[in-house]
Amino acid sequence: MPSGRKLVIVESPAKARTIAGYLGDDFTVEASVGHIRDLPQPSELPVDMKKGPFGKFAVDVDNGFEPYYVVDADKKKKVTELKRALKEADELYLATDEDREGEAIAWHLLAELKPKVPVKRMVFHEITREAITRALQATREIDDRLVDAQETRRILDRLYGYEVSPVLWRKVRQGLSAGRVQSVATRMVVERERERMAFRTAEYWDVTGSFGHPSPASEAHEGRFDAKLVQLGGRRVATGRDFDDQGRLKSGGKDVVHVGEDVATAVAAGLQDAAFSVLSLETKPYTRKPAAPFTTSTLQQEASRKLRMGSRQTMRTAQGLYENGYITYMRTDSPVLSSQAIDAARRQAAELYGPEFVPDKARVYASKNKGAQEAHEAIRPAGDHFRTPAQVAKELSGDQFRLYELIWKRTVASQMADARGSTASVRVAADVPASPALAESGAQGDTQAVFAASGTVITFRGFLAAYEEGRDVDRYAEEGGARKGDRETRLPQMAEGDDLDARDLAAAGHSTSPPPRYTEASLVKALEERGIGRPSTYAATISVIQDRGYVTARGQALVPSWLAFAVVRLLEENFDRLVDYDFTAAMEQDLDAIAAGQKDRVAWLTQFYFGDAARGPDAEGLRDLVANLGDIDAREVNSIPVGDGITLRVGRYGPYLEGPGEDGGEPRRASVPEDLAPDELTADKAREILEAQPDGDIVLGEDPGTGHTVVAKKGRFGPYVTELLPEPDLDPDLSAAARKKALAALPKPRTASLLKSMQLETVTLDDALRLLALPRVVGTDPESGDEITAQNGRYGPYLKKGTDSRSLPSEEAIFEITLEEALAIYAQPKRGRGASAAAPLRELGEDPASKKPVVVKDGRFGPYVTDGETNATLRKDDAVESITLDRAAELLAEKRARGPVKRKRATTRKTPAKKTTKK
């Protein structure tokens, strides 16, 4: 019977503990630990459903895209606990986050728990006593529109991944995945690398000098300033911004002069004794406003810039701060602050910095993103009164303290006054005497050279006293592209026409820089600007493309792999619409429209998957797009021309170079070093790598036991190591037959193939000696007295005891397995000829072609899938635990297409029949 208790369910245990401290004894607070239900893998469906409409996606696409949900295996115990707690309650509060994901969690809880007591949806944006109290008094119903939007997104991602990913498996590599946002993010990183690969450097020069009054009239006139040549002969001097990525002047270089080394040197030399004067002087007020409070996106960007924290690390840290009541909800697109937060920020700014640092009117911010979801306010310190970093220093440490301090500073600064000051810009000019170098640049006679400088003086720091926003890498930073206000520079007092002297005039050369690679911060910013995905998912997206091997981090920069090049090329050439930036952003807007009740979920999914024939071929759905691919040339997709006839190929075991062989022979091949970025692989570098690849024997050293030289070689069946035995000392008078017999009696050199984990160019003498020492004696079977050895064979590593062989799990086990472990393997029943059939490792379901059950079995040469008629060995990247029915069906189809293996039969010469004479 209900006991008058109220059950509150939140997502996380940490959140539950914090909230429980604010509620009375009448409340029980439990955590669902995230989602309790999800779409299962099709292979995990009940047997009777695998043949039905849910069999392919766990979604019935023909009947309103109905999803089939199951309770996650690791959540069954949790659901049982929640049901038990619900039996003792007379009210249920679903207090998950107030976003699409949180609304969906609440909806799934309601569907699975089936409560018979009143249910209330409780929402809050911060975990403080005041916020929890307000939330209890303002409950609502579950918002079905938010649930529809989340469910649409989940089904969309399932359809996208399950239709497109198998194409990548077949044509690029096993284990790859495609996704609505991850594939577009990967494409952006690859496109930036392509720009860097196509980039051509341009050289340009300028002249700098130090200027000042030769005889200052007062202290205000004292001091010197640095200025740079900006104009020559009436034309502006080109800087890096004036060149395109091919090293050419933009717009044909009209009204711009490209200064080379000769001209710059001539100008610097010609101005050594020149009379400089102030050509113009302009002074204007300087004002700078504070940045808006943090959203999810800007928090990830700023934490990356200032704290060197990745997106995943930032969100994990922010989650902990939120759940423990230090900040408001960390997934938001809105920079808006509540009235209580504005009052708290203004009050704290006045207390810490003075009332003059707070403007008369509160600042109000609005989102610049059209598709922003503004259910929550900005990320800020929790509560109606903010705790300063000093007040939480004893409670927080490490990343949590640093992130809290960043959020606190940004929030307080957002309600502070503008920074104010003045900016002065000066131009200084002198005539350069005529010279041959200047004449070549088009100058006639003496040429006027104009130098420029600017300085900013901050007279009132305003919000800068608390916080200054960081900025991304600027490829033109060396040209003074730093934002005004980042540093304070003063110019001495001067007036137009004043004479100045110049010192330290010098010519300096520069090179244009390629577009900078994305960092996590700049990629998040670019995704948000294009309207792709949601800021709350960016951390997960960046993690996925790194985990899949598409992108690696080099310092802060994101470097795409050659695998990413192959994947992006396949998607661009065959699924161009799915990786189109505008199309992906439009899908996000449509999901927002579903959340707002402006679009129907089923109608939208129908159009996406089945298409709209009435709108023509451009409205082709995902189903037909995948079905009408035709033949994709896998070799072509995985090939990238480097130059000079050299091609980079993305192989099963990694990228390698293939170049023409000598005299038209076999192509030369070499692996690409893992630390070589794509834009660093030039034709010259590729040729260098190929030439470094050994063609002949590689001498590794001398075997200390025998004194024989050990070498590594390339063989017909792969690389191997062997020893060079001394030339035999045979009697030169021996007959050919006797010589042959004598040679046959000589000892043979020891030889061993390299392990799969070894490479010819990196194998060491120690590696070789270990291989040549095989087979390794593990020990003696105490029962039979037979010796057990570990060795490497044609079909992999194995144990041998007399005539009984058993496979080993890995090559390393050859050198590490103990006698006890070997005896344990032999104690297992042998699976082979004459033994009873072993039970299948897994049952996957019905093969769509043969209509027979498909299972995974363990065979002599490793695990394989079979439908009882056709067997297909699992590939290197296929794991028994995770292989799906779709992948198994693909392997079986490929095996059937190849047909039976044709074995050559030994032929015997037949004696022709004797002809009989006609009587």
What is the percent of the chain with per-residue pLDDT over 70, rounded to a whole number?
89
User: Is 90 exceeded by the pLDDT of residue 343?
Assistant: yes
User: Is 70 exceeded by the pLDDT of residue 584?
Assistant: yes
> How far is residue 562's CA from residue 678's CA, in Å, rounded to a whole number?
7
Q: How far is CA 617 from CA 603, 624, 778, 886, in A?
A: 19, 10, 67, 28
Q: How far is CA 603 from CA 63, 412, 524, 607, in A?
A: 11, 46, 31, 6
Report the catalytic residues. 329
Tell me the three state secondary structure of residue 599.
coil
Contact 790, 778 (CB under 8 A): yes
User: Is 50 exceeded by the pLDDT of residue 483?
Assistant: no
Element (H, E) at 610: helix 601-610
Q: Which tops the pLDDT comparison, 160 or 841? A: 160
Element (H, E) at 528: helix 520-530
How confident is the model at residue 444, as a pLDDT?
Answer: 62
What average pLDDT does this structure show over 882-894? 78
pLDDT range class, residue 476, cuts 50, 70, 90: low
Angle of helix 311-323 relative to helix 13-20, nearest 10 degrees, comes to 30
> How far is residue 241's CA from residue 252's CA, in Å, rounded to a whole number?
14
What average pLDDT does this structure show over 332-347? 91
Contact 296, 333 (CB under 8 A): yes
Contact 399, 313 (CB under 8 A): yes
Contact 624, 608 (CB under 8 A): no
Mean pLDDT of the chain: 85
What is the percent of the chain with per-residue pLDDT over 90, rounded to a whole number?
44
Within its chain, how far is the Cα of 194 from the centroid? Answer: 17
Residue in the block written with tokens 């927080």 = 396
Strand-pair category, 787-793 with 796-801: antiparallel
Within its chain, how far is the Cα of 221 from the centroid? Answer: 55
What average pLDDT does this structure show over 848-858? 82
- Please report, for the chain, how many H helices and E strands are present, in that order: 27, 34
pLDDT range class, residue 565, cuts 50, 70, 90: very high
**823: which 2 tokens?**
């005896």
Q: Which tops the pLDDT comparison, 130 or 894? A: 130
> How far is residue 327's CA from residue 320's CA, in Å, rounded to a whole number?
9
> How far is residue 349's CA from residue 361's CA, in Å, rounded to a whole number?
14
What average pLDDT does this structure show over 598-625? 83
